[in-house]
Structure 1
Amino acid sequence: MSDATQEALAQIKKTLELLALQKPTTGEASQPAAVAHNSSQKYRGKDYFEESSKSYINFTYESPTIYHVVEYFSRKLDEAGFSYVSEKSTWSEVKSGKYYTIRNGTNLVAFILGSDWKYETGVGAIGSHIDALCAKLKPVSTKKDVEGFQLLGVAPYGGTLNTYWFDRDLGIGGRVLVRDPDSGKIESRLINSAPHPIAKIPSLAVHFGEPANGPFDKEDQAVPVIGYSGTGDDDEEGDSEDEKRSPLFGKHPIGLLRYIASLAKVKVSQLVQVDLDLFDVQKGTLGGLKNDFLFAPRLDDRLCSFSAVNSLIDFANDGPVPRDAFSIVALFDDEEVGSLSRQGARGGLLESVVQRVVANLHGDSPELLRTTFANSLIISADVNHMFNPNFSSVYLEHHRPKPNVGVTLSLDSNLHMSTDVVGLAVAEELARLNGDKLQYFHIKNNSRSGGTIGPFISSQTGARTIDLGIAQLSMHSIRAATGSKDIGLAIKFFKGFFANWRSVYDKFGDL
């Protein structure tokens, strides 16, 4: 090697070292985040996609009810350096940083706030729902035994207790309110019976002819069986005077109360109230000859929620966050039953978070809040219909989403979805910048479209809202499927949204 070459290499090395010293290692960046956040190699390769799917499988198995989901995400946010702020307190200390708040244990909003954020910059938000179809324990679940078979009174949440729910291994879980025997205070505890199933809704064998064909009465023919006491050899102890002190005594089978108490690690007498679901205990798995698919329960809509939270954490941790950023993930309850609750999308927690921040930084003015939302962009992230090859005729041509391609835009001429022409163009530009592929879904004219939280959010805030999400097979079944790469692809797209939405949206001016 010549002296001139060695000198040139030494100069290059010195220049690189100087650049490394100048590169910010902490704090927030004043430059656009697109390059910093999209240059990561994290979102490429088989290992990334497999890891994302397996992480989701473990999450949804460990978090069968919405209460468990919120607890799981709270823990993940804590680990990522987010600070919890109570909705019941003032937020005077919320100036800049990473925060989250919870309502009812079933509604969560997490956000990142840059130190130089101005209301004119607006917010970039992703909203999704975390409730899932299940069977709810009735307020009084005791039912009369039928020839020794012990039955349990449950109510459908959304479109459940249909034949999809027959012959499944059903566990029980959710929130239990218990009384501390010393202080008398009421505490909340979560229980989860998985992997143990406590119930099954038995189907009727086809040999019985017409009665086995359905449709079946959800009150009288879709009743979970939880035991059999007809042998006469039960040695279960009688009701104790202590157990009778529980306000739930007599409303639910005593055996169930004892089981719930054992999971909550309390006495039956300490049980005050319960909000419990029956759910499929079978764990998800990758499937297909080459693991092209992910099979699991409760995909709708833990898929988009999981992807959105992970993208926000990645956005916060994988590079300097812009000083003018206000990035939000809002997770809602009760989408499957209309969203009209204090913890649903129409309950106003997203709007409350933005209003509090605006008031802290710029003053409590309705005009400022309206201006903030007018400059904002919100993604309504919800699952949509993947193409089913066995029923190709029901899908609209050119609107047939496939697995492992990319997120799908949801379009609807009758406004069941909120995506408009500008939102469509914005999403396409975001995908182009981020190196993502988009798919499209629109229902045929002879079919009925479902709905999302998108129209509620856009009409309440005035912010432009785009409906898109992960495509899945077997929507509203007790067990569904998506592509094994689709969670990873969604995380990548959502992170690109947080990095680039403002610069892309500015190109459209006042449209």
Structure 2
Amino acid sequence: MEHADFNQGLLEFLNQSPTPWHAVATMKAKLDEAGFQALDEREDWSLAANSGYYVIRNGSSLVAFRTGTGDPAAQGVRMVGAHTDSPCLKVKPNPVLRRKGYFQLGVEVYGGALLNPWFDRDLSLAGRVTLQEASGQVRDVLVNFRRPVAFIPSLAIHLDREANSNRSVNPQTDLPPVLMQAPEGDATRFEDLLERQVTEETGVCPRRILGYELSLYDTQKAGFVGLHGEFIASARMDNLLSCYIGLQSLIHTSGEQPALLVCNDHEEVGSMSAEGAQGPFLSAVLDRWLGAARGRALARSMMISADNAHGVHPNYLDRHDENHGPILNRGPVIKVNHNQRYATNSRSAALYRLISDELGLPHQTFVVRSDMACGSTIGPLTAANLGVTTLDIGVPQFGMHSIRELIGAEDGHTLFRVLVEFLQRPVVL
């Protein structure tokens, strides 16, 4: 897959995936196109050699795998992990606020979001709606308003003279977005707006809305930035970028070696869910695929957990260890933390460096400052749950957890090339 095609596909994927449910639906379509077969956890599975399959749980997490041409117990499984969720603002169950003729929504902060960048943006709504059809059947549908329908206006500096030196954000009182003006006595329900959107998008006329999980998102499209187009800016780069890289790597691998991609939901809030990395999803799939050979297969396996890394910010150089400041467009970042916030060890890092060096591709290393707390990923959770050798790696970026993030236009394709080779190479550790 050429560099230009890779990046164009990335932009399309980011724009099509405003929520984890949309991201998984987009990945499903790509897997279907590549000849992978859907599996249902409620049914029996009959797996064939040299074939591709995928399983979806909750509509927001996905495991896709190639069975390979040989015995997984003898070859091991090459695995790549990422997560589908990103910090955002989610609509509350009873969200409607009416103030001075304005129709607003109460929102809850999901994950560790940078809140200030959410102000003064053209926002839309997307997510999953559970409804009852006229026939009485209950079903889920995806909705995406696409157009700007909401706005969180800043308070003018004339009314807050300390705004540039001392402004904090109260999530309860400062973040409810304005959706429209509603005259006194207006009885519009949020569910009424959802019903109209569902009918417009799907043709389904709901008898009633039973529930929803909806997020606000920035309508500005992903795109190239920089005088020479050397950067890519987008929402949800953390961690849809890694989902896209992992998906394309699995699709483009030879298929001879057993290989797997897992994209979990709920990483940004601790991964403790039925479909999160602390849940049983991946383990259940491996049990059904590998059966009694699971223990021997995993002993020969390796996981690469791909989640973006902190690029050294030129305005805040002191926030990095002086010897471990990753630069955008200088290669993916091997993430190390000896307190096991990252799962990398010398052996897993060595394999990545070996492959990357053989391909003539750059790589970097990140260690957090010793006087700062370190973030984490699905890497340690998966390593602990499966007992598998794991590497944490990621593309360096700016603005992590902001409504708009920035990466180098070279680094995603670099990681893709290494992961393709990793997924089709026997692991020798």
TM-score, normalisation: structure 2: 0.94
Instruction: Using the TM superposition, give the Cα deviation of residue 179 of structure 1 relative to its aligned residue in structure 2, in angstroms.
Output: 2.3
Look up the SS of the partner of 1:468 in the other structure.
strand
Tell me which residue corresponds to 1:292.
Answer: 230
1:481–1:219 distance in 2 versus 1, CA, 3 Å = same
Identical aligned residues as a percent: 32
Tell me which residue corresponds to 2:288.
Answer: 356
Tell me which residue corresponds to 1:208.
Answer: 159
Look up the SS of the partner of 2:99 in the other structure.
coil
Tell me which residue corresponds to 2:327.
Answer: 402
- Equivalent AA in structure 2 for residue 200 of structure 1: F
Q: For the residues of structure 2 that align with 1:65 and 1:424, how far apart are their CA atoms?
A: 32
1:446 pairs with 2:371: yes
Q: For the residues of structure 1 that align with 2:216 and 2:10, how far apart are their CA atoms?
A: 20
Tell me which residue corresponds to 1:266.
Answer: 204
Instruction: Using the TM superposition, give the Cα deviation of residue 272 of structure 1 relative to its aligned residue in structure 2, in angstroms.
Output: 2.6
Instruction: Using the TM superposition, give the Cα deviation of residue 115 of structure 1 relative to its aligned residue in structure 2, in angstroms.
Output: 3.2
Tell me which residue corresponds to 1:58.
Answer: 12
Gaps of 5+ in 1: 1-41, 43-47, 240-249, 360-364
Cα offsets for 1:174-222 (capped at 9, x unmatched): 112232313x22222111111x111111111112235744212110111
Q: How is 1:25-424 mapped onto 2 (pairs within 5 angstroms)?
A: 42=1, 48-143=2-97, 145-160=98-113, 162-182=115-135, 184-194=136-146, 196-210=147-161, 212=163, 213-230=166-183, 252=190, 254-255=192-193, 257-267=195-205, 269-316=207-254, 321-322=255-256, 325-359=257-291, 365=292, 368-424=293-349
Q: For the residues of structure 2 that align with 1:262 and 1:270, how far apart are their CA atoms?
A: 15
Q: For the residues of structure 2 that align with 1:161 and 1:435, how far apart are their CA atoms?
A: 36
Gaps of 5+ in 2: none
1:267–1:358 distance in 2 versus 1, CA, 3 Å = closer
Instruction: Using the TM superposition, give the Cα deviation of residue 53 of structure 1 relative to its aligned residue in structure 2, in angstroms.
Output: 1.7
Instruction: Using the TM superposition, give the Cα deviation of residue 253 of structure 1 relative to its aligned residue in structure 2, in angstroms.
Output: 6.0
Tell me which residue corresponds to 1:242.
Answer: none
- Equivalent AA in structure 2 for residue 100 of structure 1: Y
Equivalent pair of 2:330/2:362 in contact (CA under 8 Å): yes
Q: For the residues of structure 2 that align with 1:486 and 1:115, how far apart are their CA atoms?
A: 31
- Equivalent AA in structure 2 for residue 493 of structure 1: V
Equivalent pair of 2:130/2:212 in contact (CA under 8 Å): yes
Q: For the residues of structure 2 that align with 1:101 and 1:385, how far apart are their CA atoms?
A: 31
Q: For the residues of structure 2 that align with 1:50 and 1:357, how far apart are their CA atoms?
A: 36
- Give the counterpart of 2:383 among 448, 458, 462: 458
Q: For the residues of structure 2 that align with 1:96 and 1:348, how far apart are their CA atoms?
A: 25
Instruction: Using the TM superposition, give the Cα deviation of residue 466 of structure 1 relative to its aligned residue in structure 2, in angstroms.
Output: 0.3
Equivalent pair of 2:133/2:207 in contact (CA under 8 Å): no
Q: For the residues of structure 1 that align with 2:72 and 2:422, how far apart are their CA atoms?
A: 19
Q: For the residues of structure 2 that align with 1:117 and 1:255, how far apart are their CA atoms?
A: 53
- Report the count of equivalent residues: 427
1:95–1:353 distance in 2 versus 1, CA, 3 Å = farther
Cα offsets for 1:84-116 (capped at 9, x unmatched): 111111213444411111111011011111232
Look up the SS of the partner of 1:220 in the other structure.
coil
Q: For the residues of structure 2 that align with 1:68 and 1:204, how far apart are their CA atoms?
A: 33
Q: Which has the larger radius of gyration?
A: 1
Equivalent pair of 1:50/1:485 in contact (CA under 8 Å): no
Q: For the residues of structure 2 that align with 1:49 and 1:98, how far apart are their CA atoms?
A: 25
Look up the SS of the partner of 1:346 in the other structure.
coil
- Equivalent AA in structure 2 for residue 330 of structure 1: V
Cα offsets for 1:313-358 (capped at 9, x unmatched): 1114xxxx32xx2100110000000000011011122222221122
Tell me which residue corresponds to 1:14.
Answer: none
- Equivalent AA in structure 2 for residue 116 of structure 1: G
Instruction: Using the TM superposition, give the Cα deviation of residue 256 of structure 1 relative to its aligned residue in structure 2, in angstroms.
Output: 5.2
Q: Considering only aligned residues, what root-mean-square deviation do their CA atoms show, in Å?
A: 2.0
Equivalent pair of 1:127/1:379 in contact (CA under 8 Å): yes
Look up the SS of the partner of 1:390 in the other structure.
coil
Q: For the residues of structure 2 that align with 1:357 and 1:483, how far apart are their CA atoms?
A: 37
Cα offsets for 1:364-391 (capped at 9, x unmatched): x3xx422221211100110011121111
Q: For the residues of structure 2 that align with 1:97 and 1:189, how far apart are their CA atoms?
A: 30
Instruction: Using the TM superposition, give the Cα deviation of residue 127 of structure 1 relative to its aligned residue in structure 2, in angstroms.
Output: 0.6
Question: Greater helix share, 1 or 2?
Answer: 1
Q: For the residues of structure 2 that align with 1:205 and 1:256, how far apart are their CA atoms?
A: 32
Equivalent pair of 1:172/1:277 in contact (CA under 8 Å): yes
Q: For the residues of structure 1 that align with 2:388 and 2:193, how far apart are their CA atoms?
A: 51
Cα offsets for 1:442-473 (capped at 9, x unmatched): 11112221110111011111100000011111
Look up the SS of the partner of 1:345 in the other structure.
coil
1:255–1:329 distance in 2 versus 1, CA, 3 Å = closer
